[in-house]
Copies of this chain bind each other. A is one copy, B any other.
């Protein structure tokens, strides 16, 4: 994790930004909760535990910055808040989500499922694909089991 932050520090520097304690605390939270999809508010509360003086605006500014640098992805599952998701290192952009309509859980799929599809879009629509968002809405494994038991 240390090294990961070191690398991000270099990325920041190369663009003239600094890795301030607040930014580092925010990154640490994001790393610790890599599996989650935290909202700005949630990040703020977690960062506050490490650095109580931090302001919500700073968290927003930091997340915005990280988003520009493509270190995090800003995603939106339609619940009124933006969520932030650390990109896997070395993985260009493929990164999909399974959102459960029952329990709200979000599972990630790192695997690239869209290679073929992307090719079709590029060829047939002459659209030069830079990135994509794919989200499935449905019922997760656990909730399927619950439904069966409930019968």
Contacts and interface: CB of A to CB of B under 8 A. Distances in A.
Interface string A116-151: 111011000111111111111111110010000000
A5 interface: no
Chain A interface SS verdict (over half): strand
A134 B137 contact: no
A116 B115 CA distance: 12
Nearest to A128: B139
A133 B131 contact: no
Nearest to A144: B128
Contacts of A117: 113-114, 117, 134
A48 interface: no
B98 A127 contact: yes
A125 B101 contact: no
Contacts of A137: 129-133
A118 B132 contact: no
